[in-house]
Structure 1
Amino acid sequence: MAAAQALRDEQWDLPPGDSSPAVELSIVMPCLNEAETLALCIRKAKAFLDEYNIAGEVIVADNGSTDGSQQIANALGARIVHVPARGYGAALIGGIEAAQGRYVAMGDADDSYDFGALMPFLDALRQGGDLVMGNRFQGGIAAGAMPPLHKYLGNPVLSFLGRAFFGTPIGDFHCGLRAFRRDSIRALGLTAPGMEFASEMVVKAAIAKLDIREVPTTLQPDGRSRPPHLRTWRDGWRHLRFLLIYAPRFLFLYPGLALALAGLVGVLGLIPGDIRIGEVELGVHTMIFAAMAVLIGSQLVGLSVLARRYGVIAGMWPESGLMRRIRNWFSVERACVAGGLMLVTGLGGAIAATLAWASAGFGDMNPAALMRVTIPSMLLCCLGVQTAVTAFFAGLLDQPRA
């Protein structure tokens, strides 16, 4: 008996001699007026716990139901957690916070997910996983369970972007049935109140380099007679917005570098004279747009650096070794020197153009020839000021805090 007690204490991270009953798995269901299907979901979850002899609990995170959902949950022995803040994410955050289990499984209370098929999730957690995602595309999506727009466009595109942005091999980023170590997920500090909570969990888990795994699961048509809470375009945009906010390299850096390099090639290539490509002739008017591309691109690159630095300060992601080296080298002083050199060079070009105009008696000149000097001069002046201002803002972010 003593050996068994010690083994249990070690398994559940209990203090030696603590004989309080351990909860291995908490099954959390967000709920807002789910009276039609809630009872069936609770029964399936409880049957799963009984069938596999798992010490567990069923939690209904209620968002203010008025259709009798709370009474149904109470009658079936589920634990009700009242969450006044509205939203899918808010309800789940409240339910996870109140959970007593070492592991938590979450799923919608609309009978679209099979709470009796949680064993693969739990096995993966027992084997060391931190977050176990369901994959509906591998397990099977029943006819009518997912709108075609979600099935063939929304979910595949957002999942692809999630994999590309954050390097996680998850094939179904937005599956609502998933399980995780409670302490690992709570440490991420999840805050999204809406449907984007599903993305936030995976993104932050990937950034924190948690052990993320995936198992097949199924999706059935939900059993409710009313429309779902999900709003296709609104919630799809909120998911995309969240992914972009947490991926400043893809939002700012890569587009900025592409624009700046393309524009720089255009400006430098047109300084000697017009260029003909087939039947198309590129001249000083093209140079204006090329200079615009350089300005926009450099602004995006600067925003990328500032966004990355802010994210580190705010605890959104750890600082990479590359960014640390860049920050140590790219001081405010060095940036001001570089910006000052560009500004002086640009002003020098502007003065040279003015002197050339003066030598012609301030009369008519070849406008194309003049613009080949003034456009690069203007560009250097703008880049010089922009570099210095960006450096000072970065220095402001790095100021010590109490």
Structure 2
Amino acid sequence: MSAAPARARPLPRTPTPSSAAAPIELSIVMPCLNEAETLAVCIKKANAFLARHGVAGEIIVADNGSTDGSQQIANALGARIVAIEARGYGAALIGGIAAARGRYVAMGDADDSYDFEALLPFVESLRAGADLVMGNRFRGGIAPGAMPALHKYLGNPVLSFVGRTFFGTRVGDFHCGLRAFRRDAVLALGLTAPGMEFASEMVVKAALRGLDIREVPTTLQPDGRSRPPHLRTWRDGWRHLRFLLIYAPKWLLLYPGLALAAAGLLGVIGLLPGDVALGQIRLGVHTMIFAAMAVLIGSQLVGLSVLARRYGAIAGLWPESGLMRRVRNWFTVERACIAGALMLAGGIAGAGLATAIWAQSGFGAMDPADLMRLTIPSMLLGCLGVQTVVTAFFIGLLDQPRR
């Protein structure tokens, strides 16, 4: 399905009551945008699975505005059609999941690349207590021509590795389109991504909420359409990566910030006594300037990571960790003001001392290198002091009571 900037409404947090006489165990949701060439075979395979294994189920076609007769095909084969106005892969699935009546939901593309007759391992894992069951195409088998080489050897492996690293999950195929889940558990995640990044959003939020995520092998076949797929490699790949980075402030902000600040602080302190020679390279006050810049950038990133983590917890994007709770309890506005004031006072004192030294020479010419060894750390202390106070007040603003 095509990703679009239109915003989708979040999934409702309360299940939709079933109007069927008998309870439905499994709803099979297929997002659809002009899939007339392959929709029929997908519905027939899904129906065959339900009949063969005696699963009480329904098939939902989440139609995203098809104009090729897909709705008529779905209607003729007994599928339930849910019209989704907001365009996008995620928007279609959000609407389809919201309309589902089953306890469990399985989702898969309507292009005949996934085998809807092979859903039993997914259902069995859900019955055994899983909240989300992901298909893994790399374990199950990818038929020749089913996945572009760029996706198979670079895009999917790299993004899946990033997802596992950032969010501590063992999912090996973050973007497999065939997956199943407990409907109530996914509704509680409040998924909103309208585009292809919906696939990442589901896994990321499930991992952050500590849901039971399992994986089963599945296969991928070349799709049966004569037209190009809706997926756009670079655009949708970037949307996935952007989503992963937004939800991982530790990796985007905290760790790079700590590394920059530590390296810069080492440089500033190491150059205070004088120049340092590294072989044929001589590091002096000009290097100290860039080291101070690294400290400032690093400390800003660390502060932003704390703000991002706090905002995410308040907005319900992720639960607040015990470490962040302790940091917030310790890093009060009052303590930050004291620490910031001490650093600012140190900076002002250093600036005053530098001015006094200059005055002793009659405000005439001086060796700039000697004076900069005092003015650079003074400037750094002053900036860090102000930054510390401002960050603490911003956290205090976020922590204000809400209705």
TM-score bracket relative to the smaller structure: over 0.9
Q: Distance in 2 between matches of 1:340 and 1:233?
A: 48
With normalisation by structure 2, the TM-score equals 0.95
| Corresponding position: 1:72 with 2:76 | no
- Counterpart residue identity of residue 248, structure 2: A
For 1:24, the equivalent position in structure 2 comes to 25
For 1:397, the equivalent position in structure 2 comes to 398
- What do you get for the CA RMSD once the two structures are aligned? 1.3
How far has the Cα of 1:20 moved from its partner?
Answer: 3.2
If asked which structure has higher relative contact order (CA below 8 Å, sep 6+), I would say 2
2:113 is paired with a residue whose SS is coil
For 2:98, the equivalent position in structure 1 comes to 97
- Counterpart residue identity of residue 334, structure 1: R
Q: Within 5 Å, which residues of 2 pair with 1:29-178?
A: 29-178=30-179
1:29 is paired with a residue whose SS is strand
Q: Distance in 1 between matches of 2:79 and 2:274?
A: 78
Q: Distance in 2 between matches of 1:19 and 1:151?
A: 42
Identical-pair percentage: 80
How far has the Cα of 1:322 moved from its partner?
Answer: 1.0
2:319 is paired with a residue whose SS is coil
For 1:10, the equivalent position in structure 2 comes to none
- Residues 296-352 of structure 1: per-residue CA shift (max 9 Å, x gap): 000000000000000010001111111111111110011011111100100100110
Q: Distance in 1 between matches of 2:337 and 2:228?
A: 58
- Residues 206-261 of structure 1: per-residue CA shift (max 9 Å, x gap): 01101000000000111111111111111111100111111100000000000000
- Counterpart residue identity of residue 63, structure 1: N
Q: Distance in 1 between matches of 2:401 and 2:326?
A: 19
Q: Distance in 2 between matches of 1:373 and 1:249?
A: 33
For 2:316, the equivalent position in structure 1 comes to 315
- Counterpart residue identity of residue 139, structure 1: G
Q: Distance in 1 between matches of 2:227 and 2:283?
A: 60
- Counterpart residue identity of residue 401, structure 2: P
Q: Distance in 2 between matches of 1:66 and 1:261?
A: 58
| Corresponding position: 1:331 with 2:332 | yes
For 2:250, the equivalent position in structure 1 comes to 249
How far has the Cα of 1:19 moved from its partner?
Answer: 9.8
Q: Distance in 2 between matches of 1:315 and 1:372?
A: 46
1:28 is paired with a residue whose SS is strand
**Runs of 4 or more above 2 Å deviation:** none
For 2:12, the equivalent position in structure 1 comes to none
Q: Distance in 2 between matches of 1:238 and 1:64?
A: 23
Q: Within 5 Å, which residues of 2 pair with 1:276-291?
A: 276-291=277-292
CA gap 1:365/1:106 in 2 versus in 1, 3 angstroms = same
- Residues 106-156 of structure 1: per-residue CA shift (max 9 Å, x gap): 000000000010001011001000000000000000111111111111100
For 1:386, the equivalent position in structure 2 comes to 387
2:114 is paired with a residue whose SS is coil
- Residues 334-382 of structure 1: per-residue CA shift (max 9 Å, x gap): 1011111100100100110011011001111111100000000000011
For 1:4, the equivalent position in structure 2 comes to none
- Counterpart residue identity of residue 133, structure 1: M
1:322 is paired with a residue whose SS is helix
Q: Distance in 2 between matches of 1:167 and 1:173?
A: 13
Q: Distance in 2 between matches of 1:280 and 1:135?
A: 52
1:26 is paired with a residue whose SS is strand
Q: Distance in 2 between matches of 1:284 and 1:251?
A: 30
Task: Could you tell me which runs of 5 or more consecutive residues in structure 2 were left unpaired when the two chains were aligned.
Answer: 1-14
For 2:302, the equivalent position in structure 1 comes to 301
Task: Could you tell me which runs of 5 or more consecutive residues in structure 1 were left unpaired when the two chains were aligned.
Answer: 1-12
Q: Distance in 2 between matches of 1:387 and 1:48?
A: 60
Q: Distance in 1 between matches of 2:63 and 2:270?
A: 64
CA gap 1:139/1:19 in 2 versus in 1, 3 angstroms = closer
Q: Within 5 Å, which residues of 2 pair with 1:143-292?
A: 143-292=144-293
1:268 is paired with a residue whose SS is helix
The number of residue pairs the alignment matches comes to: 387
With normalisation by structure 1, the TM-score equals 0.95
